[in-house]
Amino acid sequence: MAKGVGASLFSDIRAMIESSRRRVAVSVNAELSLLYWNVGRRRTLLGRLGAVDSYGIVLRDTGSTCSGDVGDPRIRSSGT
């Protein structure tokens, strides 16, 4: 294989990897934005129902619980 062909192949593969990284970053950012939007929407709805105060602190049980299947398992609330 000629030296120029190897360098070209390496350059092409590097470009493909960088392109893939950019697409992954855009996808992750879009998913995180959607998650935060939905969390805020849920919090706003609960606020309108009087279930949370202005800081998001639960004032009364709304019937839903967090089973601990999300987030860092080392962090536990006082209720578990």
Total domains present in the chain: 1
> 37 is in which domain, residue-wise?
1-60
Residue 65 within any structural domain of the chain: no
pTM score of the predicted model? 0.53
Q: Over the stretch 55-80, which tens digit does the pLDDT of each residue have?
A: 656 665 555 555 555 555 555 555 44
Q: Over the stretch 32-49, which tens digit does the pLDDT of each residue have?
A: 999 999 988 887 887 777
Residue 19 within any structural domain of the chain: yes
**How far apart, in whole angstroms, are the C-alpha atoms of residue 29 and residue 35?**
10
If you compute the radius of gyration of the chain from its CA atoms, what whole number of angstroms results?
Answer: 23
Residue 67 within any structural domain of the chain: no
The residue with greater pLDDT, 19 or 70, is 19
Cα–Cα nearest to 78, from 66, 62, 60: 66
Q: Count of H helices and E strands in the chain?
A: 1, 0
Residue 20 within any structural domain of the chain: yes
